[in-house]
Structure 1
């Protein structure tokens, strides 16, 4: 017997927290009856429905995608633009991205149908490092870099300390290549951090997610994560848990 919200999360419908909201809103049925209490447990023999649709107990799957620029980090787009799930036409399971990358940002993004795993990696308290390479307009000063390393004040609060390194500079074009490592995942965070020190982003790529990188992948390529990689990611999150 497992808690209803865990079963919904494991089916890839939503994170466990979102599943709890679905239950409270009366959108979940067990064996034809609406359930609004969070303590309910179900077995494999129970029929669970979300918004009148029975959930499938799918095997969890995990992918890494080298997202090109100009692709939406979503399962659909009302403007008809290309989305990350378009790169998986042969996958029958309902997969979705873990977190997001901006439309014009390229690089690593993970996709899964495992809601619990997705929630684990996205929660700020687990501090999963993400490495970005940014081409910026202007050349950051040493003091500006120190601000990023200490944490910089944005409109939605101060950022956690970042690891920052200037990889190269072009004095003629007044541009620089900057590497940032952060563990937070706020909306447009890297762009806003670099704008805040006066060096707006011209181009941005996520090179690394935890220990995963883009080795062997070209833009638009994807591969399935190995069971060992999935286990490592779970272990990494649990060791960061405070």
Structure 2
């Protein structure tokens, strides 16, 4: 069972907030009856209509995108900026949405799907799916600073989970460094805020890996469909934390 507004959002009809507004306005029906309660839960067998149009059950699809910088990780943008779903419009007919998000100025690996359950398994911290980033930072992190990130560091929205962090190179003259960091959380601008907290702000950020997936063979703006085996392995990871 899922909350009604969540199902509408996952179907790509509207954002979660807009879906809640549609429910409150009496524009949503479940099994032919108008529903105005935001706490309403529905199952896969329920018939849902939004503004008189029935939500159709689509085949589940799963894509890996090499997100370029300067694109919004969203289905729509009220400022008219290009979104990640715009890249797929000519070739993908299902109403897909990004799994989690990458910031406007962050590039790298982003998954998109129309499978809400899969998206939840990939993004909720309790499933501990690793995401690895390459961060170019201003300044050279100290050993103690890196250890703070490894242990978990206090941010304004709470302490982060322990991270895997290493400095892969540095330029003492230019006062720049490149670090690799792996986390399983997905707070807003988390990696950037973590490095800011140790005094080395991020200049450029790229997500290199998502679990065992990487960007091999793709250029920015390109994407591929995940194989059935890859989707199965990701589900196994979310269930057990490891691949047998």
Q: Tell me by how many angstroms 1:167 deviates.
A: 0.4
Structure 2 gap ranges (5+): none
Q: State the distance in 1 between where 2:226 and 2:34 align.
A: 36
Distance in 2 (alpha carbons) for counterparts of 1:209 and 1:153: 24
Query: Is 1:67 paired with 2:64?
Result: no
* 1:57 partner SS: coil
**Distance change in 2, residues 1:81/1:93 (3 Å):** same
Q: Distance in 1 between matches of 2:27 and 2:145?
A: 49
Matched, 1:141 2:142: yes
Matches of 1:128 and 1:39 in 2, distance apart? Answer: 27
Preserved contact between residue 11 and residue 56 of structure 1 (Cα < 8 Å): no
Match of 2:210 in 1: 209
CA change 1:83–1:30 in 2 (3 A) is same
CA positional deviation for 1:77: 1.6
Matches within 5 A, 1:19-34: 28-34=28-34
Cα separation, partners in 2 of 1:170 and 1:24, compared to 1, 3 Å? same
Native 8 Å contact 2:75 2:83 kept in 1:
yes
Alignment of 1:8-157 (within 5 A): 9=7, 12-13=10-11, 28-35=28-35, 38=40, 43=45, 47-88=47-88, 89-157=90-158
Q: Distance in 2 between matches of 1:235 and 1:91?
A: 26
Name the TM-score, length of structure 1 as normaliser: 0.87
TM-score, normalised relative to structure 2? 0.86
Q: Kindly report the root-mean-square deviation, in angstroms, between the aligned alpha carbons of the 2 structures.
A: 2.6
Tell me: CA distance 1:67–1:202, structure 2 relative to 1, closer, same or farther (3 Å).
same
> Take 1:180 and 1:123, find their aligned partners in 2: how far apart are those partners?
18
The Cα shift of 1:201 comes to 0.4
1:222 aligns with 2:209: no
Distance 1:127 1:141 in 2: 27
Structure 1 runs, 4 residues or longer, greater than 3 Å off = 3-6, 8-12, 21-28, 35-43
Shift of 1:10: 9.8
Count of residue correspondences? 232
